Structure 1
Amino acid sequence: MSFKKETPLANAGFWAARKGNLALLQLLLNSGRVDADCRDSYGTTALMVASYNGHYECVKELIMQGADINYQRETGSTALFFASQQGHHDVVKLLFEFGASTELRTKDGGTALTVASQYGHSTVVDVLLKNGANVHERLNDGATPLFLAAQGGHVTVIRQLLASGAKVNQAREDGTAPLWMAAQMGHSEAVKVLLLRGADRDADRDGSTALFKAALKGHNGVVEELLKFSPTLGLLKNGSTALHAAVVGGNIRTVLLLLAANADTALPNEHNELPADLTKSDRILRVLRQKVVNRDS
């Protein structure tokens, strides 16, 4: 967290807030020469600095001295946003006791709940939800708290949000669903939870499904979870199959998982290429040919 200080005394106040030096902070505030709402040219306040760094007593002192809890800096961030971002649940609770709002947004649409979900701070998420945070809020690009939690593989937060009514298939503006994002990031446990709560196993982005992306990247734990829910193994909107993706990815374990699920080695992609046409790996070619032999026999 960066900030520009305007005066030597304000500088000392920011330093005290950042370091958690309560005695110095009290001395400066009680002198009457440093305002509780002193801020830098970006609008960063001492309360934001103390909240970001998790200094409970400094936060309380600033509030008692009249600091504006809901003041927004240039980016739109508040003290609650920063405390939530850093996972300081005790500070978050304190801010709520004195009237912090969950509705204030940053320029990109971020809120305390979106940022806490993004970083996987489950205790903070719990406090926010109990204090009225909206589980359906979205960033400017359409990402929900659930999407952000799925992206980071934060399973506990995913469960909390789903239990609070988050929509499991709510996609970002570009069509990316939470399951697709969790799959491509390799978060197998997150994928499992989302599937069990009704995520669309075949939801696609630009024609590729979660299985396709996981197969391409060799995320075998994800592939295994997805295969339990019988996803499409045939030709996708992108003109290819998950088996083609696995072969291109070069992970033989992924290829074997798909073959065990009866992926078709004889199904060509949009360029009339079979999976075997896309690799020079002798190991992968052997298992593909063996599958053909077994099928024909």
Structure 2
Amino acid sequence: MKETPLANAAFWAARRGNLTLLRLLLNHGTTLLMVASYAGHIDCVKELVLQGADINLQRESGTTALFFAAQQGHNNVVRFLFEFGASTEFRTKDGGTALLAASQYGHMQVVETLLKHGANIHDQLYDGATALFLAAQGGYLDVIRLLLSSGAKVNQPRQDGTAPLWIASQMGHSEVVRVMLLRGAERDAARHDGTTALLKAANKGYNDVIKELLKFSPTLGILKNGTSALHAAVLSGNIKTVALLLEAGADPALRNKANELPAELTKNEHILRLLRSKEGHRKS
């Protein structure tokens, strides 16, 4: 490797064991401005820009200096780049933008700055994931509140039908689930595979999420995919989850698409007693 500023920086990254920075430096098309923006060195960013660095230059993957600054949460760098004409419109090969990157990593101040400078609240990765979806996946409540108040669509799904509420439930983010439900999230929105937020939370045993969902009376019966949240809870072996669903009115006499009762999916005596007790109450 020739002795250039980038080569020297790569040597330093390798010596310090900074693998992420090393990969960035070795990637074709990376500039010193991108490296300085990624690292958050505002003085270096200023000097490079004043020396004529191309702010909106994209490397092969489509990333720019603004993307890296946003991804790493360096709000002072983001603000400075905007002063010299940085654009929010450039996309990476997977459709990523600075706003999507900042939302994915929970950088509230950066998200706010990007929106003030014209970033599109409806940006989506090519798989359909929005800024709100990515923030919901990470559980970043402050970012979620900001995006919703800025016009983000609470029910906008990814291409596979996964809605922000579904992904928040699957990840166990109960506070995010609560906020989204209060802001109009569809409680029974299903992915293309037929699973709902409640079924995923039941499968994972996320009882705090389940409690929030139950406040909005989600479907407890058999879903389009042929099973129920109770079947999923029994199968996962979480006693507290089973108890929660039964208390909410889940029917232990329902059969799934394989004609199985929930009780036929477990040998756990505690769960079986719960199911029998509920069946007894129903008969009496």
- Same fold, TM exceeding 0.5? yes
Whether contact under 8 Å (1:52, 1:86) holds in the other structure is yes
1:248 alignment partner, one of 218, 235, 244: 235
Match of 1:192 in 2: 178
Match of 2:103 in 1: 117
Whether contact under 8 Å (2:6, 2:32) holds in the other structure is no
Aligned-pair distance for 1:188? Answer: 0.8
1:92 alignment partner, one of 60, 63, 78: 78
Match of 2:282 in 1: 295
TM-score by length of 1: 0.88
Partner AA of 2:223 in structure 1: L
Q: Which ranges in structure 2 are unaligned for 5 or more consecutive residues? A: 14-24
Taking the aligned partners of 1:190 and 1:65, their CA distance within structure 2 comes to 44
Match of 1:3 in 2: none
Match of 1:171 in 2: 157
- Over residues 29-82 of structure 1, what are the superposed CA-to-partner deviations in whole Å (9 max), with x where a residue is unaligned? xxxxxxxxxx96610000000000000000000000000000001100000000
Partner AA of 1:220 in structure 2: N
Whether contact under 8 Å (1:54, 1:83) holds in the other structure is yes
Whether contact under 8 Å (1:17, 1:49) holds in the other structure is no
1:210 alignment partner, one of 197, 200, 217: 197
Aligned-pair distance for 1:292? Answer: 1.4
Whether 1:67 and 2:53 are equivalent positions in the alignment is yes
Taking the aligned partners of 1:249 and 1:284, their CA distance within structure 2 comes to 11
Q: Which ranges in structure 1 are unaligned for 5 or more consecutive residues? A: 1-5, 19-38
Taking the aligned partners of 1:164 and 1:213, their CA distance within structure 2 comes to 28
Partner AA of 1:101 in structure 2: S
- Over residues 78-109 of structure 1, what are the superposed CA-to-partner deviations in whole Å (9 max), with x where a residue is unaligned? 00000111011111111111110000000110
Q: State percent identity of aligned pairs.
A: 68
Match of 2:21 in 1: none
How many residue pairs get aligned? The number is: 272
Whether 1:152 and 2:152 are equivalent positions in the alignment is no
Q: Secondary structure at the match of 1:8?
A: coil
Whether 1:11 and 2:6 are equivalent positions in the alignment is yes
- Over residues 134-158 of structure 1, what are the superposed CA-to-partner deviations in whole Å (9 max), with x where a residue is unaligned? 0001111111101111111111111
TM-score by length of 2: 0.92
Whether contact under 8 Å (1:17, 1:50) holds in the other structure is no
Partner AA of 2:28 in structure 1: Y
Aligned-pair distance for 1:235? Answer: 0.8
Whether contact under 8 Å (1:13, 1:46) holds in the other structure is no
Aligned-pair distance for 1:199? Answer: 0.5
Q: From the CA coordinates, give the structure whose radius of gyration is larger.
A: 1
Match of 1:283 in 2: 270
Taking the aligned partners of 2:151 and 2:167, their CA distance within structure 1 comes to 20
